[in-house]
């Protein structure tokens, strides 16, 4: 995810979040099985961290603080983890 974010950080934020959400939903559908919810949440957290870093690499000045990034996520939310298959 980190490599993809750094390679595509020149996209507009709205388009970047839309594509990122498609990737996240695909990941959740593949790994969203019973008892894997904690790891899916961890994956979302690290994706948010890498997204913040990738957006801050757009210019020489920091674009987002963590609080400003959280406000941006309210406007363009990321897909939340979901369990798609119950094995037990």
Q: Is residue 37 within 8 Å of 84, Cβ to Cβ?
A: no
Residue 83 inside a domain? The answer is no
Distance CA 53, CA 47 (A): 10
Number of independent structural domains in the chain:
1
Domain containing residue 63: 2-75
pTM value is 0.91
Residue 88 inside a domain? The answer is no
Identify the segments of the chain with pLDDT beneath 50.
none
Residue 13 inside a domain? The answer is yes
Which run of H or E residues covers position 72?
Answer: helix 66-75
Residue 84 inside a domain? The answer is no
Residue 25 inside a domain? The answer is yes
Distance CA 82, CA 33 (A): 9
Residue 61 inside a domain? The answer is yes
**Res 41: pLDDT:** 97
């Amino acid at each position: 995810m980190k490599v993809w974010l750094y390679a595509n950080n020149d996209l507009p934020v709205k388009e970047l979040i839309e594509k990122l959400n498609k990737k996240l939903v695909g990941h959740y559908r593949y790994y969203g099985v019973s008892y894997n919810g904690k790891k899916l949440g961890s994956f979302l957290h690290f994706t948010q961290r890498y997204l913040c870093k990738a957006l801050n690499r757009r210019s020489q000045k920091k674009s987002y603080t963590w609080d400003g990034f959280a406000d941006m996520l309210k406007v363009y939310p990321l897909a939340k983890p979901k369990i798609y298959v119950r094995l037990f």
